[in-house]
Homo-oligomer: A and B are copies of this chain.
């Protein structure tokens, strides 16, 4: 499946494109399940005069009057691989010579030159492997810090990045930069981290849960024999959770437990109906099992997120991480959970580039040597992305349910780089 990790063979036709572009700033987020990769490619670079001529959307600059920089025009690319197939990732980097596109302005000895920013636990665990196979030194960037930097960048710089999803309706939310903080960032990877974000680099990991994407995929694999996360998601889309979940109506009968506001359709016990029925796993449809599992996990994440938002008086909860994957039912369940538990006071928001927060954060950490740190200077040209994804089709950042999310494969932008 293309969505489960890039298949190198299919990219051969794109090699030429890559070599024509000038690639730089490779960054990695090596998680428990997935390796997320971000890099920048520029087909042209412009002098700082371009900036004065209005290339940057808001015209601001942290280094006004300083001409010691240039503006690169190009694209951010997003790819992913399964961590268990890390050799494919290494092979891909090697075949594309991406190891040369990390931090090239480093003054270290020649043997240490290929320094690549990396976050996630794998930046520690696989450091030796990357050095041995590719001669890359992984420059470790803190995982929470990367997630926050990535989220802040997207929320400030990318148009139509955040949206709500409820009852099948997707609504883009315009974020007022001055009113962004504080918010709760919930990153649903293999496990879940919940981070209170108070500003640029001002954050605290306040909670988390081990019931995350790895649980959905891991338990789902055991229960359904699915071969991939996306296959499992697709199955869940066709399932009916009421076959296995014990509903309030199954306990109380048709009326539900009206006194405390629990209608008969509320799930009283996830997988609870499996108790009483004389059935084995094989007697259930994989679709229904997948649906119950997805609903259990999404609802649980939504509830714990809301309880943490409540602790700190946070009205907005942004959900990121590869678990979400633009999947309608996942977002709907999370939204309903947040809405239900908060009596409509808190809101679940989702991000179009949800899976790449950490990788983007690592990418942004090149700032000291390359990029300047003002996120405002990034300009996404949404329409051109939609029309001409140059490299990213088939790179795994598609949704099975949202045609429009296909446009998210890369962000076209201009970036100010110090010379």
Contacts and interface: CB of A to CB of B under 8 A. Distances in A.
Interface of A: 31-33, 82-84, 120-122, 124-125, 142-144, 189-191, 205, 207, 209-215, 217-219, 221-223, 225, 244-246, 248, 250-253, 255, 257, 259-260, 267-277, 280-281, 284, 289, 296, 299-300, 303-304, 307-308, 310-311, 341
A33 B275 contact: yes
Nearest to A252: B121
B222 A274 contact: yes
B272 A218 contact: yes
Contacts of A250: 32, 121
B121 A210 contact: no
A246 B32 contact: yes
Nearest to A192: B269
**How many monomers of this chain does the complex have?**
2
Contacts of A143: 257
Nearest to A223: B222
Contacts of A300: 209, 211, 300
Contacts of A270: 210-211, 214-215, 218-219
A307 B308 CA distance: 7
A378 B364 CA distance: 68
A289 to B, nearest CB: 8
8 contacts: A32-B246, A32-B275, A84-B277, A122-B251, A124-B253, A214-B268, A219-B219, A222-B223
Contacts of A248: 121
Contacts of A280: 222, 225
Contacts of A215: 269-272, 296
Contacts of A144: 259-260
Contacts of A210: 245, 267-270, 272, 296, 299
Nearest to A253: B125
Contact of A214 (B125, B211, B271): B271
A91 to B, nearest CB: 18
Given A121-B250, A215-B271, A221-B275, 19 more contacts: A31-B251, A120-B251, A121-B253, A122-B251, A144-B259, A144-B260, A209-B300, A211-B270, A214-B269, A217-B272, A218-B244, A219-B271, A222-B223, A222-B280, A223-B281, A304-B307, A307-B307, A307-B308, A307-B311
A399 to B, nearest CB: 20
Nearest to A82: B276
A214 B311 contact: no
Contacts of A284: 222
Nearest to A295: B210
Contacts of A257: 121, 143
A250 to B, nearest CB: 7
A207 B82 CA distance: 37
Contacts of A259: 142, 144
A22 B250 CA distance: 36
Contacts of A276: 33, 82-84
Contacts of A303: 207, 209, 304
A134 B315 CA distance: 54
Given A245-B210, A253-B121, A341-B207, A33 B272 contact: yes
Nearest to A217: B275
A317 to B, nearest CB: 14
Contacts of A275: 32-33, 84, 190, 214, 217-218, 221
Contacts of A223: 222-223, 281
A277 B244 CA distance: 27
A40 to B, nearest CB: 27
- Of A122, A143, A207, A268, which is in contact with the most chain B CB atoms at under 10 Å from its CB? A268
A20 to B, nearest CB: 36
A277 B218 CA distance: 10
A191 B268 contact: yes
